[in-house]
Amino acid sequence: MPLDPKHHALWWLAWLLLMPCFGTQAAETVDANFTREFLLETDEETWQKLGDRHSSWQSQDAQRAAVITALGHLKHDVGENFLRENLRENGPEMTAQWERGTAVEVRGHVVECSEIALTEQEQTLLAVPCLYRCRLQVQRKSDKMHKSSVQQLEVVSAFVPDAWLKTDVLDAPAKVTGIVLKTDDVGDDFSGALIIAARVRWFPTNTLLGQLGMDVGLFDAVPALPITVLKQAEISVPRSLALLTRPEIFERAFKLTGHDQEAFYGLMKAVKNTPPGWLEQEARRMLQAQGESRTSAVNLFNRPEEMRGQPVLLTGVAKRAVRVLVDNPEIQEQYGIDHYYEIHLFTNDSQRQPITVCVSSLPPNMPTSADFPNPDEYNEPLTVAAIPYKLWVYESGLSESRLSESEDISAVNGGGRANYSPLLMGREPIWLDTRVAEQPALLDENWPDWAKNAIGITFVLLALIIWFFLRHKPLRDKNKPRVP
């Protein structure tokens, strides 16, 4: 799913003209000259003032315009992958040696976050309602006695997770990939560098996905809304979506668009990298803690935001399974995904509505719909552990066994009727193949404990009875009168 950003015309003109000069040496282009000329689009005087620790970029028109322009390029034109190819070797403990204008990647904890107001023109350029100023704490290593100290960095970004704006106490594990504008004291107790970045990524250690290394803040771009929101007059969405219209919000929520790319494939990659059976164990552990034996499909339809990111366990019948090729080289390289399988699963409580599960692989010998002369005859029972992503809409007027690829969303715009399906990510389903003609084991592992115990006791009693008769039979023969 390719992204469709609003590109800056002047940037692309300059980039196309200079691309032949760069050749394959793109990694050498992110330096002070590149940042000043192509990101900031400013002159040498403004560039020097931006590096002055006594100068505030927010209060100086020329500096502010340069920072806004650079953030626009970082957000729309220059991806993080390009910056990572140009990272300098020095880590966060070496900020004194960072060069202005170079790309850096820093991990730490965001302990403070505040909004920076934008003019209407700046909002249009960046396509965001405001900017954010974050205080990022990193551990700075010292050469003396191998001690470390906490260093403060200032980060100006076009995006931060919405959850950070709703708490008074913030201590969020985060990562920043951006450009260094200052390397000295920037005032207001920020004792380190000033970095600008398109976004600040969040990896909360108290969540399953954060532990798996997924940026949970990506979900803000694609809200998981319930169907009932279509009838509500007001909609609660993340701050980053405040400039969107009602139809645009519904499109983000219920369709698969370019805005889904990072969150969709980021979640798929996180699930794909889990050990075999691990996700199922996590789902069973959560169900046991809740006193439940299975996940309710109803919650997937009615409470998608609450269910998002939580492991679930579903058993039902797959009426469709297709292999989806991912031919985008950037996605293949960044996420390690060149294909996946889309399964339409029907459970006992899904009310004849499909649950769409995207998995990285299928069990050996499990067929897909393409293996059937008539795909409508596909009917495979399975169990799958997965993580909910959001609801998505598909065309109405279709039977359970024949679902459309259409992404028609006419219902959210007041048009015809549409149906909704929960969309989940799994690693590999458990195929409950009923066609294998094998003699069932006497003690099946799925039998309840009481049945296994009853069979065991029966065997013991039979053994005792046989032993008793064999033990006493010789005695009766010995006492029997002999025939002369």
CATH of residue 58: 2.40.50.140
SS3 (DSSP) at 130: strand
- pLDDT per residue over 243-290, tens digit each? 999 999 999 999 999 999 999 999 999 999 999 999 999 999 999 998
- Model pLDDT, residue 118: 95
- Model pLDDT, residue 164: 96
- Residue 311: burial class (beta carbons within 10 Å; 0-12, 13-18, 19+): buried
The secondary element (H helix, E strand) that includes residue 312 is strand 312-325
Question: Which residues, listed in sequence order, are joined to residue 136 by a DSSP beta bridge?
Answer: 110, 153
The total domain count for the chain is 3
Q: Do 257 and 333 lie in a common domain?
A: yes
- Model pLDDT, residue 299: 92
Q: Do 408 and 466 lie in a common domain?
A: no
Per-residue DSSP letters for 151-174?
A: EEEEEEES---GGGGG-SS--EEE
Asked, for residue 436, whether it belongs to a domain, the answer is: no
Low-confidence stretches of the chain (pLDDT beneath 50): 1-28, 89-92, 396-416, 436-445, 475-484
Q: Do 280 and 320 lie in a common domain?
A: yes
Identify residue 40 by its one-letter amino acid code.
Answer: L
Cβ–Cβ under 8 Å, residues 429 and 383: yes
- Model pLDDT, residue 292: 87
Q: Do 132 and 242 lie in a common domain?
A: no
Report the relative pairing of strands 355-359 and 339-346 from DSSP bridges: antiparallel
- Model pLDDT, residue 27: 36
Q: Do 344 and 253 lie in a common domain?
A: yes
Cβ–Cβ under 8 Å, residues 123 and 163: no
Asked, for residue 250, whether it belongs to a domain, the answer is: yes
Question: How many other CB atoms sit within 10 Å of the CB of residue 204?
Answer: 19
Q: Do 239 and 160 lie in a common domain?
A: no
458: tokens are 């029966």
Question: What does DSSP assign to residue 38?
Answer: I
Which residue range forms the structural domain that includes residue 138?
A: 9-202
Q: Do 280 and 408 lie in a common domain?
A: yes
Cα separation, 113 vs 115, whole angstroms = 7
Q: Do 138 and 186 lie in a common domain?
A: yes
| Nearest C-alpha neighbor of 324 from the set 283, 370, 363 | 370
Asked, for residue 281, whether it belongs to a domain, the answer is: yes
SS3 (DSSP) at 410: helix
Q: Do 398 and 450 lie in a common domain?
A: no
Asked, for residue 211, whether it belongs to a domain, the answer is: no
Cβ–Cβ under 8 Å, residues 76 and 6: yes
- Model pLDDT, residue 109: 96
- Residue carrying structure tokens 């004291």: 185
Asked, for residue 115, whether it belongs to a domain, the answer is: yes
Asked, for residue 292, whether it belongs to a domain, the answer is: yes
Asked, for residue 407, whether it belongs to a domain, the answer is: yes
28 alpha-carbon distance from chain centroid: 31
Question: Which residues, listed in sequence order, are joined to residue 176 by a DSSP beta bridge?
Answer: 106, 200
16 alpha-carbon distance from chain centroid: 33
| Nearest C-alpha neighbor of 82 from the set 9, 156, 15, 127 | 15
Q: Do 305 and 426 lie in a common domain?
A: yes
| Nearest C-alpha neighbor of 250 from the set 419, 396, 411, 403 | 411
Asked, for residue 361, whether it belongs to a domain, the answer is: yes
- Model pLDDT, residue 456: 72
340 alpha-carbon distance from chain centroid: 15
Q: Do 449 and 302 lie in a common domain?
A: no
- pLDDT per residue over 417-426, tens digit each? 568 899 999 9
- Model pLDDT, residue 5: 41
Q: Do 402 and 462 lie in a common domain?
A: no
| Nearest C-alpha neighbor of 433 from the set 369, 374, 364, 372 | 364
| Nearest C-alpha neighbor of 57 from the set 190, 218, 212 | 190
- pLDDT per residue over 85-141, tens digit each? 877 544 445 555 678 898 889 999 999 999 999 999 999 999 999 999 999 998 766
Cβ–Cβ under 8 Å, residues 67 and 75: no
- pLDDT per residue over 202-215, tens digit each? 999 999 999 999 99
Cα separation, 131 vs 68, whole angstroms = 9
Per-residue DSSP letters for 3-34?
A: ------HHHHHHHHHHHHHHTT-GGG--SHHH
Cα separation, 452 vs 34, whole angstroms = 72
- Maximum C-alpha span of the chain: 134
